[in-house]
């Protein structure tokens, strides 16, 4: 019988989402607790902690966890983890809360208490701490010196901006999650809990599953990456972000519709599964590639497709830095605490007129004038400006959906491209 990769952390899936009578009792208790408003990013993190996607985490990180993750990719107990998962709160809220208190975590946008939390610690992140975190987690090879990084990061890096704008205090401690928000209904059949994805893979007899991360519409390069994975693995999990993006990115419901059309017309459907997950993008480039591998392992994936500029933004990262970082991370000695999901490293892919098909820098001997260099950012820019797309840039059935979206868009957002995206 096929056996999927074990969840990260060596503890199985750590489920903090309550159900049934336990859920109803906790909701009643939550109504009487102090309410602390949370950000959209924290909401997504909570849901992933709840459904097991962030196993083995059972709550928000302590200061020791935060420092260890930023500096050494390790939580305080020695578990590999690449990006901080913290809960920032106002000074006013922190002053009214002590270690040992129980609080309710409130999503104002959805007008819903998302979780309860047993506060184990509160700590400050000063501006100096946030600066240090930004340099450790978000600075890449695209800006080789700290001075170059800060010349542009505060205004042009959405991940750094998010960190620097965090509230000054942080709360740590375990959570009991009461809701998955709008995701199970808005994305019914697409939003999966890790246990649900694992069941789908097991029912298909898969053991070696490759995940394809998507935040842009699925273009020809993504399609090619996915088909390479299907050739060498049992199947592919097209797993797209359905949480919040940055201005100018295409909404999840449009991207899901594009994937549906592409899979229907261009894949053997038995070999691919489409899913969605509720996180906000952090735009942490290589570090985020590692995070993608961590939680895809929890979903049952043994491979993470890592192509060109994975989770990148602007010119902050080297084009293949998200691949090479996998070779540099620590390997904890304790079983289960190391990252097991491995990268499926694929070179820059494109359509080549002379090759008469999709190719990569490893397989195509021709010049860039013969290549249609595919980029999700470039696709969005051209569509938003009403420009004609070159042949083989995207599948016709996908382009029709995207053109319809842009033609009905009331407010245009300027889209910046990576210098390498245009070839």
Whether the predicted pLDDT of 102 surpasses 60: yes
Task: Please tell me the pTM assigned to this model.
Answer: 0.93
Chain centroid to Cα 45, Å, comes to: 10
Q: Tens of pLDDT along 30-49?
A: 999 999 999 999 999 999 99
Q: Which residue ranges make up each domain of the chain?
A: 20-125+166-179, 189-407
- Sign of dihedral through CA atoms 275, 281, 286, 291? negative
Residue 233's pLDDT band (cuts 50, 70, 90):
very high
> Would you say residue 416 has pLDDT above 70?
no
Domains 20-125+166-179 and 189-407 share a fold: no
Cα 205 → chain centroid: 26
Give me the mean pLDDT over the 66-76 stretch. 98
Please state the rounded mean pLDDT for residues 125-136: 98
- Evaluate whether 51 touches 287 at the Cβ level (below 8 Å): no
Select which of 51, 170, 216, 271 is catalytic.
216
The class of domain 20-125+166-179 in CATH terms is alpha beta
Active-site hit among 41, 193, 215, 220: 215
In this prediction, residues 399-412 reach a mean pLDDT of 83
Containing 274, the helix (H) or strand (E) segment is: strand 272-277
Which residues does 44 contact at the CB level (< 8 Å), separation at least 6? Answer: 243, 244, 278, 279, 280
Does the pLDDT value for residue 242 go beyond 80? yes
277-333 pLDDT per residue, tens? 999 889 899 999 999 999 999 999 999 999 988 988 889 999 999 999 999 999 998
Residue 215: active-site member: yes
DSSP state for residue 300 in the 8-state scheme? T
Q: Where are the alpha helices (DSSP H) in 84-219?
A: 91-95, 127-133, 146-156, 158-164, 183-186, 194-203
pLDDT of residue 193: 98
Across the chain, what does the average pLDDT equal? Answer: 92
Cα separation of 46 and 177, whole Å? 7
CATH 3.40.50.300 fits 189-407, yes or no: no
């Amino acid at each position: 019988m096929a056996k999927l990769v074990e969840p990260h952390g060596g503890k199985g899936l750590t489920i903090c989402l309550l159900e049934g009578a336990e859920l109803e009792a906790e909701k009643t208790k939550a109504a009487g607790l102090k309410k602390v408003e949370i950000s959209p990013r924290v909401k997504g993190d909570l849901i992933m902690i709840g459904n097991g996607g962030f196993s083995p985490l059972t709550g928000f990180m302590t200061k020791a966890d935060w420092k260890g993750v930023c500096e050494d990719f390790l939580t305080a107990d020695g578990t590999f983890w690449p990006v901080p998962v913290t809960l920032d709160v106002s000074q006013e809220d922190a002053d009214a809360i002590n270690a040992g208190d129980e609080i309710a975590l409130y999503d104002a946008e959805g007008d819903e208490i998302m979780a309860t939390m047993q506060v184990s610690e509160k700590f400050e992140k000063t501006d100096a701490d946030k600066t240090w975190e930004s340099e450790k987690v978000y600075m890449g090879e695209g800006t080789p010196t700290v001075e170059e990084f800060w010349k542009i990061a505060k205004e042009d890096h959405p991940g750094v901006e998010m960190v620097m704008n965090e509230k000054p205090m942080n709360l740590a401690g375990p959570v009991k999650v009461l809701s998955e928000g709008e995701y199970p209904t808005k994305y019914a059949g697409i939003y999966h809990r890790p246990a649900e994805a694992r069941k789908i893979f097991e029912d298909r007899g898969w053991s070696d599953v490759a995940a394809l991360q998507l935040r842009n519409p699925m273009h020809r390069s993504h399609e090619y990456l996915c088909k390479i994975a299907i050739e060498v693995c049992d199947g592919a999990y097209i797993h797209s972000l359905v949480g919040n993006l940055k201005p100018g990115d295409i909404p999840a419901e449009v991207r899901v519709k594009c994937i549906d059309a592409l899979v229907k017309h261009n894949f053997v459907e038995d070999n691919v599964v489409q899913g969605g997950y509720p996180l906000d993008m952090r735009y942490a480039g290589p570090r985020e590639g590692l995070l993608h591998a961590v939680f895809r392992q929890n979903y049952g994936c043994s491979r993470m497709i890592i192509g060109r500029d994975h989770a990148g933004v602007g010119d902050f990262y080297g084009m293949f830095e998200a691949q090479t970082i996998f070779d540099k991370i620590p390997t904890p000695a304790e079983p289960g605490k190391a990252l097991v999901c491995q990268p499926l490293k694929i070179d820059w892919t494109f359509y080549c007129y002379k090759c008469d098909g999709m190719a990569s820098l490893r397989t195509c001997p021709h010049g860039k004038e013969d290549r249609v260099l595919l980029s999700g950012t470039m696709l969005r820019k051209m569509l938003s400006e009403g420009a004609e797309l070159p042949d083989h840039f995207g599948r016709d059935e996908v382009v029709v959906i995207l053109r319809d979206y842009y033609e009905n868009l009331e407010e245009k957002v300027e889209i910046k491209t990576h210098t390498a995206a245009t070839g």
